[in-house]
Structure 1
């Protein structure tokens, strides 16, 4: 048996103009699904081939595969100490078949990089997969350990201090949008994306929280503050974890 905590938050509307249609292709938007990082939970040990744990894990992986149409799944086996939990989330603009493709990629990547590990985390451009023996019930508190940052090696031109300040303010605005309830007035959005001109440059950004975290805003605020430690004046940067993530670039990287 499985317990599933699945929410649909990808509240994106698509408007088709009959006469004037502006098409942005995936290639022109630099949309990729590259591998970013992984962490094997070596302290949780390894399972033996053909063991009950392997069978349960494979069964849970198949179960989650059928439940990711909403973009997020938190599911667990219900067998006490031997329980297994999978938390999976797609980026806010990655939905339906794109989300399923990222899930398949993440599962294959986990098996390759953490062979027979009972737990581990793997991040891609458009999703993350977290497998653990710990049955972390929702709502989850923020996990500060499993976070990392990435940045463009190039610096922006001009006043970097002003760029940092304006980019931080931009991300804070998106955080406030993500932490609001959706049109139904019940569920939180937990995702926001936009573009804004900062000086002579246009900045594209997104923020997102996992759907089962207890507090979205504090998580994103903490991540924003990490930018000053890793990514001052960089043309692009991101902070990723299993609770929330953010990213900004000087080029469009999301589906419209």
Structure 2
């Protein structure tokens, strides 16, 4: 079989899988990266398209410009602009270690990629390693987005998957509890580590901050419950949705300098 035929076959299988499970992608790639790499995107067909120079595009451009003026000290924006039927809702959530200028840089990259990958789409979401950007003509405050979700995992397996899965779940569950503990500075983000003999397990959990802490806990419990289905015995992995995500690795993957 030629390389061209193989490529077409792989594309067809992935395309059919996405259609069959409504944009739920199981993405088998190495989770090892410390860059702000592009991860995935979805473009909503049901919400339709907007026309060039339309009020919807104008409202979208206004929000991006307004967000760009922010220093992103807290790494999060949920906002809207315009009147029905051209109201645009937008969310930017940066990873917990990527606030300040890193968040602003991620917004610029995410905006460019969302326009390129979902041209003129009224609704879409794009994920990068350090942020996500979502737009919609419908409000989604306090609404969990389970529909837009995907897996990523390492190609390497541990020697004792059962024990490793249990310890990974224990760490992520602990982090979820800490991230959703009610406080004056509710960031809905937590990182931590666990000793595993001669190595360490590193993990993080995070929700978009348009969710209340109890709703965030529900979201995190749901995706953590997908272990080991997503990443059975893999050295690293993550489940990423439009509202919450987790990641674990056997090496440090978060930035230590803001």
TM-score of the two chains, using structure 1 as the length reference: 0.83
Contact 1:180 1:189 in 2 (8 A): no
Match of 2:134, SS state, is strand
For residues 102 and 65 of structure 1, the distance between their equivalents in structure 2, rounded to whole angstroms, comes to 11
Aligned to 1:151: 153
Give the C-alpha shift of residue 78 in structure 1.
4.0
Contact 1:227 1:239 in 2 (8 A): no
For residues 70 and 172 of structure 1, the distance between their equivalents in structure 2, rounded to whole angstroms, comes to 24
Contact 2:41 2:127 in 1 (8 A): yes
Count of matched residue positions in the alignment of Structure 1 and Structure 2: 222
For residues 165 and 72 of structure 1, the distance between their equivalents in structure 2, rounded to whole angstroms, comes to 32
Written as runs of structure 1 = structure 2, the 5 A alignment for 1:175-186 is 175-181=176-182, 185-186=183-184
Aligned to 2:225: 225
Give the C-alpha shift of residue 30 in structure 1.
4.9
Aligned to 2:52: 49
Contact 1:174 1:206 in 2 (8 A): yes
For residues 229 and 34 of structure 2, the distance between their equivalents in structure 1, rounded to whole angstroms, comes to 27
Written as runs of structure 1 = structure 2, the 5 A alignment for 1:56-135 is 56-67=59-70, 68-135=72-139
For residues 200 and 37 of structure 1, the distance between their equivalents in structure 2, rounded to whole angstroms, comes to 34
Residue segments in structure 1 that go unaligned for 5+ positions in a row: 1-28
Contact 1:206 1:248 in 2 (8 A): yes
Match of 2:85, SS state, is helix
Give the C-alpha shift of residue 230 in structure 1.
1.6
For residues 61 and 195 of structure 1, the distance between their equivalents in structure 2, rounded to whole angstroms, comes to 36
Aligned to 1:237: 237
1:22-66 deviations in Å (ceiling 9; x for gaps): xxxxxxx95210000000112211122222221121111111222
Instruction: Return the match for 2:197 from 196, 199, 203.
Output: 199
For residues 108 and 75 of structure 1, the distance between their equivalents in structure 2, rounded to whole angstroms, comes to 19
Match of 1:42, SS state, is coil
1:74-97 deviations in Å (ceiling 9; x for gaps): 001141222100011000000111
Runs of 4+ in 1 over 6 A off after TM superposition: none
For residues 102 and 193 of structure 2, the distance between their equivalents in structure 1, rounded to whole angstroms, comes to 23
Match of 1:227, SS state, is coil
TM-score of the two chains, using structure 2 as the length reference: 0.82
For residues 196 and 254 of structure 2, the distance between their equivalents in structure 1, rounded to whole angstroms, comes to 19
Instruction: Return the match for 1:38 from 17, 34, 41.
Output: 41
For residues 146 and 197 of structure 2, the distance between their equivalents in structure 1, rounded to whole angstroms, comes to 33
